[in-house]
Amino acid sequence: HGEEFRTVRCICGSFAGRCQEYTSESGERTTAYRLVKYALRPVSPAAEPLRIPLSAFIVEDMAELASAHATYRFVILDEEEERPRLLIWLFKPSMRLSYAAPTYYSIPQSGVVQAAKVLFKTIGPSTVYTDLPRTLLDKYPGFPQAEQLLYPMEICQRLAVLLKESNACYPESMRTMTGLDVGWLLRA
C-alpha cells in the first residue's frame, strides 16, 4: 500500500500532477507520477512549440465522456475540497466561431476559432457536493445525471474566467439560455 498522493509542481510553481510512493515486499521504494496533460508542453529544438489552450484539454475530457456515456452535462469539482465549482452543458462540441471580446485577459481580443459552445453556471464556494441542493440540480435539465470532472482549484478558477470572458462576447440578449450562461471554450 502506498501513501497519499502528493502534489507535484514545476520549478516555476505551476501544478503538474501528483505522485505517490510505494514500498515493494523487498523494501524497494518506488515513486509513481501522475502528470496532468494540460500541464505539459512538448518542446523541440527544430520547431516552434505547440501551444494548446487549457480549455482544449477540458473540452476533450468532456467529449470523451460524452462519446462513452452519451452525457453532455458535467459538474466540475475542485480536487482539493471536492466542492462543485461549475455546471457545464456541452451544447455544441465543435463549431467555427468569429468573435470580438470587450475584455480580453484570458482569450485573444478577437479571432476566428474552433470552439465548443457550452452553457454553464458558476457555483458558490460554500456548496459541498453532497449538499448541492436538489433544487439547484433539478432546476437545470439533465444535471441530476451529470458526470463529474475533478480539476485542481487553480484550473477551476481559470476555466470560470474563460467562460465569463466568452460569455461577454455574446450580445446581451443572447448571454443566457434555459437559465444558464452561454459561453464557449477554445479547441485545439
The whole-angstrom separation of Cα 83 and Cα 131 is 10
% of the chain at pLDDT higher than 90: 45
More confident site: 59 or 46? 59
Residue 128 pLDDT greater than 80, yes or no: no
The whole-angstrom separation of Cα 59 and Cα 150 is 13
151-174 per-position pLDDT tens digit: 989 899 999 999 999 999 999 999
Residue 181 pLDDT greater than 90, yes or no: yes
84-121 per-position pLDDT tens digit: 899 999 999 999 999 999 888 888 889 999 999 999 99
pTM of the model: 0.76
pLDDT score for 159:
96
The whole-angstrom separation of Cα 87 and Cα 149 is 10
pLDDT score for 121:
95
Residue 133 pLDDT greater than 90, yes or no: no
pLDDT score for 62:
96
- Using CA atoms, how far residue 117 sits from 32, 144, 178, in Å, is 36, 21, 14
Mean pLDDT of 41-69: 83
> Which range, of 2-6, 38-42, 131-135, 167-171, averages the lowest pLDDT?
131-135
Mean pLDDT of 59-77: 93
The whole-chain average pLDDT of the chain stands at 86
- Using CA atoms, how far residue 183 sits from 42, 82, 101, 127, 175, in Å, is 29, 24, 12, 23, 8
Mean pLDDT of 22-27: 86
Domain boundaries, the chain: 6-35, 54-186
The whole-angstrom separation of Cα 37 and Cα 51 is 13
The whole-angstrom separation of Cα 155 and Cα 56 is 13
More confident site: 36 or 113? 113
Residue 5 pLDDT greater than 90, yes or no: no
